[in-house]
Amino acid sequence: MLVLRGEGRVQLHLCNRVFGTKSVYDNDNFKFVEQKVRVMGEAVGFKTCVTATLAVRHCAQAVEFYKAAFGATELHRVPGGGVVQLSVRGAEFWVAEESKEHLNFSPESLGGCSVRMLLIVEDPTAVCQLAVAAGATQVYPVADAHGWRIGRIVDPSGHHWEVAKQLMCG
């Protein structure tokens, strides 16, 4: 929230970077008014995001694991195979067959992975249990820590997933 003072009034500006809007407090009517804006030079309604591409040795089996473990749905499959876009209730990521000639190595080739995925869900315990039943290995059981309910699993391809829900304050 940004507070600007001008003309004897307090103006409150709330920016929503995801939807390209800002809320401006209307002093005359005592309410917030939504205004569409360009955020950091982007078109209104455009959403910038960061997503992961997980390199795996067996793409088809990995996709089936994510469907069984997390309820993932397939959004896109690159013709010719080996690259699939998935979504877990709107959280999108990609799975791609390991390609040593393109320097895309799976955790199996690296002897571990260099990144952990964080999957934020309503019920971390249930999701971890389902993932273990689908073939994941539990690294840490779900517990409350640092303001989160969080557990950690490793999937059959060697990628580590923290499955969590932020706890309410107060």
pLDDT tens column, 38-77:
555 556 677 778 899 999 999 999 999 999 999 999 999 9
Listed by start position, the domains of the chain span 2-36, 53-166
Cβ atoms within 10 Å, residue 85: 18
Q: What is the pLDDT of residues 15-40, one digit of tens each?
A: 444 445 555 556 666 666 665 655 55
Cα 129 from Cα 141, distance rounded (Å): 10
Closest CA to 21 of 32, 36, 11: 36
Q: Please tell me the pTM assigned to this model.
A: 0.71
Partner residues linked to 167 by β-bridges: none
Question: CATH assignment of 53-166?
Answer: 3.10.180.10
Residues 6+ apart with CB under 8 A from 165: 120, 121, 122, 123, 124, 148, 149, 150
Q: What is the pLDDT of residues 100-149, one digit of tens each?
A: 999 999 999 999 988 999 999 999 999 999 999 999 999 999 999 999 99
| Cβ neighbourhood burial of 56 (10 Å; 0-12, 13-18, 19+) | buried
So what's the pLDDT on residue 28? 66
